[in-house]
């Protein structure tokens, strides 16, 4: 069987260049915090000749794009700006555009989209009207700026930072910032904003997210030592090597900054961790809450305040960011929950096009909470973008015709609507049954996948298995078809071989006579349609099932407490784009994915949870090899060993292939690429680079 490393393989490719404890119980490195500049720099990533998707090697198109980008003459850039900003400059409300963006050698010059296609020089436009983004991350999706930015082929480029480098043994990573870059309120963006975030916001868990493994030593578990070298340079130092797969490529390490000038009086003394850069504020929790209220942020506790202004910062109206668009301060439009939420152009945005025109092109992004009639809204130009389901495509295109363009976002899920089982269930009968691959095979082949596809997707999704999608890393036709032949008789034989016995009610019991019911739990109705399609198949092989929906808090508690039997449509499905996206979806290294349950708990604290054995333990072994390997090609080889274990075991089952997603776009919108990857690593909508879109 031939394995294929296809276009989504995340072997990161970089261009070469660039010069060279307080009251919280947080453990910092206890060694010295001073060190010399690294003498040997191995690989350096930079934006010497920026592109929106800058380097992009690894495919022929990406290589050509990188070559074309070197022809951009930074010295000849003439900065210009949107008319509405020019008016504000004339009125004395803003400094000149030359004073608002980094210098010619530091500004980000966007010349290509995420697929490597050259960008059109745009026209400054009015509003971009959307509907769809919701939840805590909703309005971040089109605007959030991260440390690096991924291309469609898995290569990546420095984004907010100008460049990065690491020393010969991968223990020291250096970030270079952009001279002249500013926050959206005009304050300078410097290394102080990184030390502030790290020591005053993150490792003290004030942002409630002090769990980013990228910032902890791979072997010792201690936090990296962050040092400010100068106003535009910081270093991260680890005790032992921290390789790219565990640091810069880590999907959770999206940012490492916070506006110190704005947040300095919102940090309570109760969260202080001693460090060399920032003194204890001495502020009580009550004083901090009062200071926050004076700035328009009203929360009941400092925990809620920290989470909302230091992590979900894009939802805080009036809080400076470095994003392309910032949440409006206008009453009625200044909340993600507003009927019309408005994101305004950041006048200090640090990216320009190839002619030096400051981005973004649109004045505002307007997000409508509800659109009464999308067809009418598109037809009359009131709507420019909308996500749609597969079942809507034919009707919408038929009715709207030339008023819309259909765009496809490639999915990376290993099958749609997975089911999985609690392999660490406290009831040994269930744990032993689930560990038997014959049981999983029976559950898989008892269903007619063609009919399931018709029921849940009107036939759009082909029958499939929990396996990589076509075009994804590790795609394997044999894997995608494993245990997919519909055969009730064989399923029955397999179950009999598992020791199950038919009870007087016509359903299987365990061999000891105790009841066996496959009780599925799901999150907020996510499994209703697929359970409706599958239930009768389970009954056809004499398995009694139930489905219970829970709200997020209750669901998470059941998983955390190991009080569940099986899950339908898990919160974190098995697989995905690659280990670089989120390794915890592939291997039991955290209490994150339902399919490995308490095995993941054990990895984070071996006094808790259940120690893995057999192939589950091999997953961990291979992961630790992967995370400690610097060479990208070698990491891919190790990743494929992990994939093979999933193929052999099929710990999760799917009945149809992984789904793509679709959206309708106003055909007047330019620079909107098609067939980009819809994935958390790429921040979903963010891969469309909304700052480069324009309308004409």
Q: Do both 426 and 285 map to the same domain?
A: no
Mean pLDDT, residues 658-681: 92
pLDDT of 36 strictly over 90: no
Q: 1 falls in which pLDDT band (50, 70, 90)?
A: very low
Least confident among 13-17, 122-126, 455-459: 13-17
> Exposed, middle or buried by CB within 10 Å (0-12, 13-18, 19+), for 522?
buried
Pull the structure tokens for residue 228: 């400010």
What percent of the chain clears pLDDT 70, i.e. is strictly above it?
89
Least confident among 183-197, 347-361, 377-391: 377-391
- Side-chain half-sphere CA neighbours of 331 within 13 A: 1
Task: Report if residue 409 sits inside a domain.
Answer: no
Strand 405-410 vs strand 566-568: parallel, antiparallel, or unpaired? Answer: unpaired
Task: Report if residue 446 sits inside a domain.
Answer: yes
Q: Which of 290, 325, 359 is the last residue of a domain?
A: 290
Q: Containing domain of residue 253, as a range?
A: 21-39+162-290
Task: Tell me how many domains the chain contains.
Answer: 2
Query: CATH number of the domain that 200 lies in?
Result: 3.90.76.10
Task: Report if residue 485 sits inside a domain.
Answer: yes
Tell me what pLDDT residue 679 has: 83
Residue 147's CB is within 10 A of a number of other CB atoms, namely: 19
Query: CATH number of the domain that 485 lies in?
Result: 3.10.105.10
Q: 681 falls in which pLDDT band (50, 70, 90)?
A: confident
Structure confidence by residue, pLDDT tens digits, 168-226: 999 999 999 999 999 999 999 999 999 999 999 999 999 998 878 899 998 898 999 99
39 and 139 in contact (C-beta within 8 Å)?
no
Task: Report if residue 686 sits inside a domain.
Answer: no
Mean pLDDT, residues 681-686: 88
Q: Do both 284 and 423 map to the same domain?
A: no
Task: Report if residue 539 sits inside a domain.
Answer: yes
Q: Do both 433 and 576 map to the same domain?
A: yes
Task: Report if residue 102 sits inside a domain.
Answer: no
Nearest to 677 by CA among 573, 577, 574: 577
Task: Report how far residue 45's alpha carbon sits from residue 195's, in angstroms, rounded to the nearest whole number.
Answer: 22
| Those residues with Cβ within 8 angstroms of residue 507's Cβ, 6 or more apart along the chain or in another chain | 516, 517, 542, 543, 544
274 cis-preceded (ω within 30 degrees of 0): no
Q: 71 falls in which pLDDT band (50, 70, 90)?
A: low
Give 37's DSSP letter: P
Task: Report how far residue 664's alpha carbon sits from residue 384's, in angstroms, rounded to the nearest whole number.
Answer: 8
Mean pLDDT, residues 511-515: 96
Q: Which of 228, 258, 290 is the last residue of a domain?
A: 290
Q: Which of 290, 308, 331 is the last residue of a domain?
A: 290
385 and 130 in contact (C-beta within 8 Å)?
yes
Tell me what pLDDT residue 678 has: 84
Give 198's DSSP letter: I
Mean pLDDT, residues 139-147: 95
Per-residue buried b or exposed e for 82-116, using 16+ beta carbons within 10 Å of the residue's own CB: beebeeebeeeebeebeebbbebebbbbbbbbbbb
Of all helices (H) and strands (E), which one includes residue 375?
helix 374-379
326 and 346 in contact (C-beta within 8 Å)?
yes
Task: Report if residue 233 sits inside a domain.
Answer: yes
Give 337's DSSP letter: T
Mean pLDDT, residues 556-563: 93
pLDDT of 109 strictly over 90: yes
Pull the structure tokens for residue 220: 């010792």
Task: Report if residue 351 sits inside a domain.
Answer: no
If one compares 275 and 45, the residue with the highest pLDDT of the two is: 275
């Amino acid at each position: 069987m031939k394995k294929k490393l296809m276009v989504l393989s995340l072997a990161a490719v970089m261009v070469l260049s660039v010069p060279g404890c307080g009251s919280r119980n947080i453990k910092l490195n206890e060694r010295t915090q001073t060190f010399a500049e690294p003498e040997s720099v191995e690989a350096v990533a930079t934006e010497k000749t920026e592109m929106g998707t800058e380097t992009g090697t690894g495919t022929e198109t990406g290589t050509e794009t990188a070559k074309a980008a070197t022809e951009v003459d930074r010295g000849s850039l003439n900065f210009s700006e949107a008319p509405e900003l020019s008016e504000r400059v004339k009125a004395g409300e803003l400094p000149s555009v030359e004073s608002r963006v980094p210098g010619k050698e530091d500004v980000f010059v966007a010349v290509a989209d995420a697929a490597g296609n050259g960008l059109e020089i745009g026209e400054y436009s009015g509003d971009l009207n959307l509907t769809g983004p919701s939840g805590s991350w909703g309005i971040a999706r089109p605007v959030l700026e991260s440390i690096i930015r991924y291309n469609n082929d898995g290569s990546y480029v420095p984004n907010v930072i100008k460049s990065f480098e690491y020393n010969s043994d991968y223990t020291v990573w250096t970030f270079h910032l952009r001279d002249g870059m500013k926050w959206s309120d005009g304050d300078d963006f410097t290394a102080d904003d990184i030390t502030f975030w790290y020591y005053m916001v993150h490792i003290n868990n004030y942002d409630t997210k002090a769990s980013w493994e990228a910032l902890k030593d791979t072997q010792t578990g201690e936090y990296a030592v962050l040092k400010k070298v100068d106003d535009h340079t910081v270093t991260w130092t680890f005790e032992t090597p921290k390789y790219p797969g565990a640091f810069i490529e880590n999907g959770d390490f999206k940012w490492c900054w916070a506006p110190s000038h704005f947040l300095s009086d919102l940090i309570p003394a109760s969260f202080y961790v001693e460090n060399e850069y920032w003194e204890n504020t001495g502020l009580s929790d009550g004083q901090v809450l009062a200071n926050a209220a004076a700035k328009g942020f009203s929360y009941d506790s400092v925990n809620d305040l920290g989470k909302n202004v230091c992590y979900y910062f894009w939802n805080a109206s009036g809080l400076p960011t470095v994003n392309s668009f910032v949440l409006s301060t206008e009453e009625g439009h200044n909340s993600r929950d507003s009927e019309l939420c408005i994101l305004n152009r950041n006048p200090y945005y640090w990216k320009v096009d190839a002619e030096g025109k400051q981005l973004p092109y649109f004045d505002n992004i307007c997000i409508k909470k509800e659109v009464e009639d999308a067809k009418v809204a598109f037809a009359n130009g009131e709507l420019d973008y909308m996500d749609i389901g597969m079942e809507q495509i034919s009707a919408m295109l038929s009715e709207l015709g030339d008023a819309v363009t259909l765009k496809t976002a490639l999915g990376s899920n290993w099958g749609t609507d997975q089911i999985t089982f609690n392999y660490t269930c406290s009831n040994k009968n269930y744990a032993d049954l689930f560990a038997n691959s014959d049981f999983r095979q029976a559950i898989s082949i008892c269903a007619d996948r063609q009919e399931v596809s018709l029921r849940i997707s009107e036939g759009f999704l082909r029958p499939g298995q929990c396996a990589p999608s076509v075009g994804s890393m590790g795609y394997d036709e044999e894997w995608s078809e494993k245990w997919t032949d519909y055969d009730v008789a064989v399923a029955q034989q397999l179950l009999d071989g598992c020791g199950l016995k038919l009870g007087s009610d016509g359903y299987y019991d365990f061999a000891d006579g105790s009841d066996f019911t496959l009780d599925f739990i799901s999150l907020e109705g996510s499994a209703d349609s697929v359970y409706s399609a599958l239930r009768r198949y389970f009954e056809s092989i004499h398995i009694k099932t139930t489905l219970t929906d829970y709200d997020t808090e209750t669901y998470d508690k059941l998983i955390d407490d190991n009080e569940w039997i099986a899950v339908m449509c898990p919160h974190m499905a098995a697989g995905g784009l690659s280990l670089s996206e989120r390794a915890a979806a592939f291997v039991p290294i955290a209490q994150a994915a339902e399919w490995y349950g308490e095995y993941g708990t054990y990895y984070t604290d071996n006094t808790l949870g259940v120690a893995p054995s057999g192939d589950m333990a091999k997953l961990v072994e291979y992961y630790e090899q992967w995370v400690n390997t610097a060479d990208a090609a070698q990491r891919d080889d190790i990743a494929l060993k992990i994939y093979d274990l999933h193929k052999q075991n099929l710990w999760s089952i799917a009945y149809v292939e992984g789904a793509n997603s679709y959206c309708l776009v106003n055909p007047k919108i330019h620079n909107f690429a098609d067939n980009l990857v819809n994935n958390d690593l790429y921040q979903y909508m963010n891969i469309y680079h909304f700052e480069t879109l324009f309308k004409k």
